Amino acid sequence: MTKIEVLLVEDQGMVLGALAALLNTEPDITVAGTASNGRAALDLMTKKPPQVLVTDIEMPQMTGLELAAVVKERFPKTRVVILTTFARPGYLRRALDSGAQGYLLKDRPAAELAEAIRRVHRGLRVVDPDLAAEAWTADPDPLTDRERQILQRAGDGMSTADVARELGLSEGTVRNYLSESIAKLGVSNRIEAARLARSKGWL
Determine the pLDDT at residue 169: 93
- List the domains of the chain with CATH numbers: 4-135 (3.40.50.2300), 145-200 (1.10.10.10)
Q: Is the pLDDT of residue 130 over 80?
A: no
- Is the confidence at residue 47, as pLDDT, over 70? yes
Distance CA 18, CA 40 (A): 19
pLDDT of 90 reads 80
* Predicted local distance difference test score (pLDDT) of residue 19: 93
Quickly count: other Cβ atoms within 10 Å of residue 61's Cβ: 12
Going from the C-alpha of 197 to that of each of 97, 141, 151, 176, 187, the distances in angstroms are: 17, 9, 9, 18, 11
Q: What's the pLDDT tens digit per position in 136-167?
A: 666 778 888 899 889 989 988 899 999 999 89
What confidence tens digit (pLDDT) does each residue in 83-124 have?
988 777 788 888 888 899 999 988 888 789 999 999 999 999
DSSP structure class, residue 157: T
State the pLDDT at residue 132: 66
Residue type, 11: D
pLDDT class of 174 with cuts at 50, 70, 90: very high
Model pLDDT, residue 85: 85
- Please, what is the Cα angle at 61 between 57 and 66, to 5 degrees? 45
For residue range 9-46, list pLDDT tens digits in order.
Answer: 999 999 999 999 999 999 999 999 999 999 999 999 99
**pLDDT confidence of residue 74:** 95
Q: How many helices (H) and strands (E) does the chain have?
A: 10, 6
120, 101 in Cβ contact below 8 A?
A: yes
**CA 10, CA 23: separation in Å to the nearest integer?**
14
Confidence (pLDDT) at 135 = 61
Provide the pLDDT for residue 128: 82
Provide the strand spans (E) within the chain: 4-9, 29-35, 52-55, 79-84, 102-105, 126-127
